[in-house]
Amino acid sequence: MSNILHVGLNCKEPILNMPTTTSIPNKRWHLAFTAIYSSRALYSLLNQKKKSRKLPVPSNPSFVVLNVKPEAFSSIDHTTLTAIVKDKNFNKLLEFGGIEGVADALETGIKNGIDGSVNDVAFRQEAFGSNTYQRPPAKRLFHFVVEAFKDLTILILIICAALSLGFGIKENGAKEGWYDGGSIFVAVFLVISVSAVSNFRQNRQFEKLSKVSNNIKVDVVRNGRRQQISIFEVVVGDVVCLKIGDQVPADGLFLDGHSLQVDESSMTGESDHIEINSHHNPFVFSGTKVADGYAQMLVTSVGMNTTWGEMMSKISRDTNEQTPLQARLNKLTSSFGKAGLAVAFLVLVVLLVRYFTGNTEDENGNQEFNGSNTKADDIVNSVVRIIAAAVTIVVVAIPEGLPLAVTLTLAYSMKRMMADQAMVRKLSACETMGSATTICTDKTGTLTLNQMKVTKFWLGQDPVEDTSLISTDLLNLIQQGVALNTTGSVYRATSGSNYEFSGSPTEKAILSWAVLELDMEMEILIKDFTILHVEAFNSEKKRSGVSIRSEADHNTVHVHWKGAAEMILAMCSSYYDASGRMKDMDDGERMTFEQIIQGMAASSLRCIAFAHKQIPEEEHEIRETSQKLEEDSLTLIGVVGIKDPCRPGVRKAVEDCQYAGVNVKMITGDNVFTARAIATECEILRPDQGIYNEAVVEGEVFRNYTPEERMEKVDKIRVMARSSPFDKLLMVQCLKQKGHVVAVTGDGTNDAPALKEADIGLSMGIQGTEVAKECSDIIILDDNFASVATVLKWGRCVYNNIQKFIQFQLTVNVAALVINFVVAISAGEVPLTAVQLLWVNLIMDTLGALALATEQPTKELMERPPVGRTEPLITNIMWRNLLVQALYQIAILLTLQFKGESIFGVNEKVKDTLIFNTFVLCQVFNEFNARKLENRNVFKGIHKNKLFLGIIGITIILQVVMVEFLKKFADTERLNWGQWGACLGIAAISWPLDWVVKCISVSKKPFLSYLRWQEHHFLLYVCTKI
């Protein structure tokens, strides 16, 4: 044993690879290791001894390698560092050695970031925590069960069931007396269970969507390579790249960047943008938004150690959002509820009067109430039974299934839209999209692939085919303008590996062209020049500029501009020709350059120009006080043309929208010729449309119209080029004033006002900034216009499915109310028991909603015009369908009630069962009719909806069980084959009846407007007489 231990201990130094000379702390670590290892070795030997009878001892000793590592980051107190950043304590930061000292303590390279290996990331997460926050616990199923119990009608039914159960057991004993009350309890339990499970599932779906929407992609630098990771994977020590529109993923310190301004309103409530720099305010906070500029930051705190994490851990997403359609349905439900209460009250009064006047009989034909001779228990039991019947009428009368149908429809459509690359952030957008009359779409990435490539390059007035012929000085200027005036980056692991380009698609296209075609060495250029000042690109200026100084020449400052070709051209007074000579630019040559740019734009190319100016150091120092770059008398270096091909399928998607009566307008920052070429290719424009017939307009022109001119011309405009975010907002406002329901796509921070103003804001999932996504209602995950068309189709489907269910449910409501009222008044009894009515209620509310709410979009939906804002929810077509079916059911069931015994030759119990069975089967057959509001072929496409067929099958099976096997529970009698056939035959007549009814045309004028018209004229008549 001692030999083995000796060998093991001798191996510790080679294993740990530790030096023989150690400091006092390291000696302590050695002693600690020796103790730990010795105990492990002894324990191992003891285990081997126990197993020695079964297993031979190996000749070579085995070693246990322990990863004994001194505590990392021991030179920094993370709690103190977190407090310094939260409190913006600049003096304390300097005591830490400034930003560089913090980076060293966190073992981070300011330029290359952390190592980024799996072990490194895991170790940092263990030491500092992960970038996640504790969410409030999700609502459990029990919460929704409790919510369902709060329904007033459910509470009344439970009280009635309890009283009925108590009196029933007292009167008939526990074996027989529990049927009435127990059956009501079971029915109430089913209703509550279905409601609670439905709401619970919707809540879970919201939680999943919330996790997806919070999973933001963040640019970080790890091991010298810029890469995208999930926000949840950010760790302390990471170097994060920030640009306009980004959400800051963690607390940290400003490392490097230019013109960085952040919006801290989410944290402080102040709307003013805060400037971040390394000299006065290097503190950056999680949850804030980048308003301008770009930068790199060093992460110092993540997750629950940030103020944002603490705030978000206390906030749960509200899933009780009520959409406009749900609000309208609640009003409808309230109206029917009031009517149901009135009917139920009348029935209650009639039944009580008939009972107490001795006009009712029990099962044996004896008078139920006989004055003082009647027991108190019998009176209470009868009154409870009457109240339960009246309450059940209220339950059936109130279309509680409508909110459930909306919930199911929206939840189902949200799930399917997610699969179709559209993530719904606001429920109301689902239904509003069905009413959209105009879609204002971006060009880049939405109509096009966003896969940009430089295909044309002009130097002076000549196209360049061979870049080797460019003069060295001019080539150097081009490379400087590309490498130093960019927010992108170039990474190459080894000299033989491929380049990786990061940044926006335009930046990546220009960088790849410069590196691969012009042999640009970006790292060398960055080392050879110092960046003095930067003006970052934004969608208003449409250009970016930089001033630089060469390390070799401190007396000269170079200013480089890059941006929209015609805007850069307007800033130039001279140009370089292909040989590198500078020439003055007169009006004729300026016209030539404009024609070159227009020619490239007409070929669907995005034109980017480069310009340069050299200024003395003294002049630069004077201008530095104003923080503005030289913008006048520049020299044009060259123009590149970037091709971004149209997405496949965009033309068909545009055609589908136009065929559906939805206008598609393209709003882009590109020049008018590029915009017109792309719009024509996508068929937003016809070839004969253009500037002269007002179909194409520039943003500045539209902006300068008078309000009256804008309102007059906005419908004619198909394309708006060179537009600013304000122009987009202005167009949305004009369209809404004209009564349009407007959907707008946007990806930039400056698109936020238009996205908020629009009825439906659609942000881009790939290119969209976090600010744009937060202001939007739906996120298009693949940035594809075809997905926008899919959202439109689903929006119409949601509205249509809800209308189907309204027609189906109101048919049952009207029939049930009229039948119960007429029979109660005339016969003094309710033909359908409480349990039977609750069963019908369950079919209507839950199974019916599930069957009709999950119908998928059809081609016919896109052949109809958009649904107007003021169009009634219940159309004349729906009134026609539901009234005819309800009248048929009323006529049949009243006939069975008063003549059923003689027609079928049966007793009263069988007659009541025939009424119940026929009523339920009528709803089953009518469910098919509700699938198509106008189309006479109600079976079209039914084979595609397996859920509908499954629910119909389940409903029929359960009905058979109710009638044939649950005699005492459902208060039914068994039916023979002939009686079942009669019930099915009567119910099946609703199919041909529906076919005939749909041949009758109806007026488009809303049915209820006739009533209002009659009421108005009646009041006028009364006033004139008075």
| Cα first-last separation, the chain | 121
* Alpha helices (H) in 288-371, listed in sequence order: 307-312, 324-356
Per-residue pLDDT at 483: 94
Per-residue pLDDT at 390: 76
pLDDT at 909 over 50: yes
pLDDT single digits (tens) 837-870:
778 877 766 788 788 888 888 888 888 888 876 7
Highest average pLDDT, of 336-345, 618-627, 999-1008, comes from 336-345
pLDDT single digits (tens) 968-984:
777 889 999 999 999 99
Relative orientation angle of helices 152-177 and 141-149, to the nearest 10 degrees = 90
Alpha carbon 319 to its chain's center: 13
Average confidence (pLDDT) over 159-175: 74
Secondary structure element (H or E) that encloses residue 816, with its range = helix 785-827
Per-residue pLDDT at 29: 43
Per-residue pLDDT at 733: 93
Nearest to 662 by CA among 422, 443, 434, 325: 434
Around Cβ 939, how many Cβ atoms within 10 Å?
11
Nearest to 308 by CA among 327, 290, 285, 328: 285
Q: pLDDT category, 396, cuts 50, 70, 90?
A: low
pLDDT single digits (tens) 750-786:
788 888 899 999 988 887 877 788 888 899 988 888 8
Report yes or no: 317 and 378 within 8 Å, Cβ to Cβ.
no
Min mean pLDDT across 387-396, 530-539, 682-691 is at 387-396
Per-residue pLDDT at 20: 39
Nearest to 844 by CA among 933, 942, 922: 922
Report yes or no: 536 and 293 within 8 Å, Cβ to Cβ.
yes
How far is Cα 810 from Cα 409, in angstroms, rounded to an integer?
A: 18
Per-residue pLDDT at 315: 60
Report yes or no: 933 and 807 within 8 Å, Cβ to Cβ.
yes
Q: pLDDT category, 15, cuts 50, 70, 90?
A: very low
Per-residue pLDDT at 302: 93
Per-residue pLDDT at 36: 47
Which two three-digit tokens encode residue 314? Answer: 């206390």
Per-residue pLDDT at 155: 77
Q: Which of 219, 238, 246, 442 is catalytic?
A: 442
Nearest to 502 by CA among 515, 552, 864: 515
Per-residue pLDDT at 403: 67
pLDDT single digits (tens) 861-894:
888 888 876 778 888 899 999 999 999 999 999 9
Average confidence (pLDDT) over 908-925: 92
Report yes or no: 639 and 562 within 8 Å, Cβ to Cβ.
no
Q: pLDDT category, 1006, cuts 50, 70, 90?
A: low
pLDDT single digits (tens) 431-442:
788 889 999 998
Average confidence (pLDDT) over 481-494: 89
Q: What angle do CA 291, 295, 296 make, to 5 degrees?
A: 135
Report yes or no: 340 and 396 within 8 Å, Cβ to Cβ.
yes
Q: What is the dihedral of CA 551, 556, 561, 566, to 10 degrees?
A: -150
Q: pLDDT category, 469, cuts 50, 70, 90?
A: confident
Min mean pLDDT across 140-149, 228-237, 643-652, 882-891 is at 140-149
Q: pLDDT category, 467, cuts 50, 70, 90?
A: confident
pLDDT single digits (tens) 355-367:
888 777 766 667 7
Q: pLDDT category, 693, cuts 50, 70, 90?
A: confident
Pairing of strands 696-698, 719-721: parallel
* Residue found by looking up tokens 């603490």 in the block: 310
Per-residue pLDDT at 54: 41
Report yes or no: 963 and 898 within 8 Å, Cβ to Cβ.
no
Q: How high does pLDDT run on average in the chain?
A: 81
pLDDT at 238 over 90: yes
- The residue type at 866: P
Average confidence (pLDDT) over 251-262: 90
Q: What angle do CA 562, 606, 644 make, to 5 degrees?
A: 125
Q: Is 107 left (phi over 0), alpha (psi -120 to 50) or beta?
A: left
pLDDT at 229 over 50: yes
Helix (H, G, I), strand (E, B) or coil at 147: helix
How far is Cα 853 from Cα 797, in angstroms, rounded to an integer?
A: 9
Does the annotation mark 180 as catalytic?
no
pLDDT at 626 over 70: no
Min mean pLDDT across 318-322, 412-416, 745-749 is at 318-322
pLDDT at 9 over 50: no
Per-residue pLDDT at 625: 55
Alpha carbon 555 to its chain's center: 55
Highest average pLDDT, of 556-560, 626-630, 765-769, 819-823, comes from 556-560
* Alpha helices (H) in 504-616, listed in sequence order: 505-518, 522-528, 565-570, 587-602
pLDDT single digits (tens) 704-757:
999 999 999 999 999 999 888 889 999 999 999 998 999 998 887 778 888 889
SS (H, E, C) 920-959: HHHHHHHHHHHCCCCCCCCCCCHHHCHHHHHHHHHHHHHH
Per-residue pLDDT at 7: 38
Relative orientation angle of helices 376-397 and 152-177, to the nearest 10 degrees = 140
